[in-house]
Amino acid sequence: MILYIHGFKSSSNSRKGQILKGHFKNVLSPTLPIFPLETVDFLDDIIAKNKISLIIGSSLGGFYGLYCLKNYKIPTILINPSLKPWQTLKNKVGKHTKFSNNETFEWTKEHNKELKAIHDKNTDKKVSQELLNLFISTDDELLDHSNIEKQFPDVKIKYYNNSGHVFTRFEEVIPFIKDYLGKF
């Protein structure tokens, strides 16, 4: 079972989630709660109730994917992960509309505080770098990944040009995912 964790303003109908469902039989791609503390409880519950063999997280979903890796040691792929979302989402306080269903929601300072609290609570937990793979756009217009190799010196990192923050070249990752799943 693959668990796909979408990013900010996305939902279960995300493009990457749909691509995964088109290539794999067992994909969970839930719409996450807005509040970060609710989201980690929600993910904890999904992992407790399902045999998850791979986690894929994109952008803010990458932050949550890293949380899951630290807590459950499940092989994880992160795509343009937001590793300090309490900082990158600081200027996103206000009303937003989800990409896939036009549902509106409010992002608050409290949400950012919750993200920081999740990070701080899990800081001492080690990242199993042998279980982590990173796919990074060199032209990500929203996140700076220039120090990612210092943060994860033993992780396999694959860089892509011309794919932006939304990672338009996600289809190219599918063969890697199929191969990677075969190792577990």
Q: What is the C-alpha separation between 132 and 123, in angstroms, rounded?
A: 17
How much is the pTM?
A: 0.94
Q: What is the C-alpha separation between 55 and 70, in angstroms, rounded?
A: 12
Instruction: Report the mean per-residue pLDDT for the chain.
Output: 94
136-158: average pLDDT: 93
- State residue 182's pLDDT score: 81
Name the percent of the chain lying above pLDDT 90: 84
Total domain count, the chain: 1
- For residues 20 and 101, the model is more confident at 20
- State residue 103's pLDDT score: 85
144-149: average pLDDT: 91
**Window from 9-23, 40-54, 92-106 with minimum mean pLDDT:** 92-106
Q: Residue 183 pLDDT > 80, yes or no?
A: no
pLDDT digits (tens, 9 = 90+) for 78-97: 999 999 999 999 999 999 98
The range of the structural domain enclosing residue 59 comes to: 2-181
Q: Residue 18 pLDDT > 90, yes or no?
A: yes
- State residue 170's pLDDT score: 96
48-59: average pLDDT: 97
Q: Residue 167 pLDDT > 80, yes or no?
A: yes
Domain CATH code at residue 162: 3.40.50.1820
Tokens representing residue 126 in the block: 């080690």
- State residue 98's pLDDT score: 84
155-177: average pLDDT: 95
105-126: average pLDDT: 94
Q: What is the C-alpha separation between 16 and 51, in angstroms, rounded?
A: 21
E-only strand ranges, the chain: 2-5, 27-28, 54-58, 76-79, 94-97, 104-107, 132-137, 156-160
